[in-house]
Structure 1
Amino acid sequence: MRIAVTGSIATDHLLVFPGCFTDQLIAEQLDRVSLSFLADRLEVRRGGVGANIAFGLARLGLRPVLVGAAGADFADYGARLQAAGVNTSAVRISETLHTARFMCTTDSDQNQIATFYAGAMAEARHIDLTDVRQTSDGLDLVLVGADDPGAMLRHTVTAHDLDIDVAADPSQQLARLDAGQVKRLVDGARWLFTNEYEAALLQERTGWGESAVLRRVGTWVVTRGADGVSILSAHTPRLDVPAVPSEAIVDPTGVGDAFRAGFLAGVARELPYKRAAQLGCALATVVLESVGTQEYKLLPGELLARIDRAYGHTAARAVEPLLASAA
């Protein structure tokens, strides 16, 4: 399966606050919040939704095409992605803007407060997927991840016009998009990815209930943190896949991106959805136990052992051939 991953390319500034955000909130003063959190640790890492997912797919043996916009400071980052197996030929380099910045503070309960500066990402709307398809010898799937809203809408329309399957993953941009935009992004997608909160927000924003969403998409994949993943479809029973237990939670940033990479890698290799979700959950736990979204070590034997412990020998044997090309 030839996959294009559209979405943000960013540098992550990850901070850790040793207390709890909620302890600092006063209910009667929520309309005039003014807070500053003294962080104990700062990590500067490479990230961005599109780059994270593409990186994960590449580590699992695929060669995804990354579609997004970055600044002139992208050279070292781009070389690293290429070395990992990501095709970066469709990345637009801005002449005037820096690569996007993601600034995120995590508290002791793993709650997060984040700010995202778009920078060069604003130019992603100028990328034409028709050109990407031609230079990539065709595309079978386009994942439309969080990006410049104009780019997300353009990529969705173009993919449908070209009869390419769409995986809609609006994630953080749901807060920015209006009802009509969300509907256009979701309607007709073969796969829809959200976390549990985003699922509720999507329904509130569109006015569609769960059944209405399912009439418009092929499969809805809802990640639920420590409670695992739910896979919903209008034509098959709900499938719940538990999470892979973590031995040491380090940083939740990028965990959802890792799940998507694992799930889509499984789908690309024609695994049943249950097995693909189990692979996604295992990779998500690996990232949860690492600082940074692309700093994890992917050891096939260790990943198989996680799957074996969480889901049993049959699941591990089903996934094992896919991991033969993982690095």
Structure 2
Amino acid sequence: MAVLELDKVNKKFGDMKVISDLSFQVTEHSVFGFIGKNGAGKTTTMKMILGFLQQDSGAIRVCGEKVSYGNTKTNRNIGYLPDVPEYYGYMNPREYLRLCGEITGLSKEAIRSRTGELLELVGLEGVNRKVHGFSRGMKQRLGIAQALLNEPKLLICDEPTSALDPVGRKEILDILSLAKDRTTILFSTHILSDVERICDSIGVLNQGKLVLGGNVADIRHKYRKDIIGLEIGGQYPVEKAAAGLKELAFVNNIHISGQRIEVEVHNAEDSGAGILAFLLKENIPVIRYEIMEPSLENVFLEVVG
């Protein structure tokens, strides 16, 4: 089931077209990585999904219901975490979530049970400090709890790991991975290693157009090149090993970097046995052997230029 659907959405500001025939779907209980350079149109798209901006043409649906500009009912199904969430700094986390629950009309029992459950999920259970003393990472974690308070069908996260240190980023990504069991997540970011870690599918936006989309594993397979990476050990001369590898019939090219050799072949899986046999025959010590997979960063650079 598609929780979010965009169908040929277009948006202009004056004479400048910022979104062009944008179409994609996000399936239930998945994490969708929405990727693009600054200015690609990600924030504009999210504002249209939330009904804050009106598209010029096309349709946006959340849980099958069409989004309407201005006062859309679909936002009852959406939780939103902005890139820089704002708080009443004099409150502690429990007080803040209680206020949010009261504003949205939750019962006292629902507020109590969900607050405890969500604070445990985001690692803030038992924290009684005022929010104004929180680190950026703690504020992001509280923002996720607030966004999940109404049990939304769709959670939109706008650059949730930007400006966080590695520990803070890991904490947020771990929380989002757990949250997938209870909702569907649209994860806007430019940090491609984060996308690789938690996203099931991606959409790459470039100058307002979707230039790449689909399942992460399928995209990796499509852009995979047949390259075998070798790290030569000990004091063995890497140039000698490379020269011997070049003589193999199935080897197309060789790249050397320090003690590392990247071997381009016709078919990595079939050629691997021949390479290993050669290394064994010549008594060449190998510390590492791998069939190299393309990183999303390499794929991103290839499709956006």
| TM-score computed with the length of structure 2 as normaliser | 0.30
Higher strand share: 2
Structure of greater relative contact order (alpha carbons < 8 Å, 6+ residues apart)? 2
Structure ID, larger Rg: 2
Higher helix share: 1
| TM-score computed with the length of structure 1 as normaliser | 0.28
